[in-house]
Amino acid sequence: MSMKILVINGPNLQLLGTRKPEIYGTVTLQDIEKGLEKMAGTLGMAISFFQSNHEGEIVDRIAAARTEQIDGIIINPAAYTHTSVAVRDALEAVEIPAVEVHLSNIHGREEFRRKSLTAAVCIGQISGFGPDGYQLALQALKSRLDRKSQKQT
């Protein structure tokens, strides 16, 4: 049985490629998803994607992941990183290993972007590597889930 990974992207990430390319680059969200699909296939993983500009939809999608038996989550909460207790609580409640991803180095940007409400309930945070951060997150999740699986057998 292959591992099931869910990738969640928050507000404004549908604008990647055209929004502030000097910060976020010119790669689109669709480009990132295509690369992840290819990589997941190589790793023998199933992957699905969700993007929303609405906090409640993101919370609902995280909650649904539990009943879908998702093994891991990659999440770029975008602006909700810094503001959403609801997204944080949903990640904590489902008890699914999650990796937080940010295209830019949030720790080198404006002060309000340096605080993540969601990172504490994730197994890790990858920040500042552009689109490669998503692939690093997928590799990290695979490694973590493989170790967990080995311990259970």
Selecting among 24, 80, 107, 134, the annotated active-site residue is 24
What would the two tokens of residue 114 be? 């340096």
Note down the domain range covering 85. Answer: 4-152
The CATH number linked to 40 is 3.40.50.9100
Nearest to 47 by CA among 142, 121, 119: 142
Nearest to 76 by CA among 48, 104, 114, 44: 104
Selecting among 54, 80, 82, 102, the annotated active-site residue is 102
Q: Helix, strand or coil for residue 31?
A: helix
CA-to-CA distance for 59 and 145, rounded, in angstroms?
A: 23
Q: What is the pTM of this model?
A: 0.92
pLDDT per position as a tens digit, 87-144: 999 999 999 999 999 998 888 877 877 889 999 999 999 999 999 999 999 999 999 9
Number of domains in the chain: 1
134 is catalytic: no
pLDDT per position as a tens digit, 46-78: 999 999 999 999 999 999 999 999 999 999 999
Contact between 134 and 74 under an 8 Å Cβ cutoff? The reply is yes
82 is catalytic: no
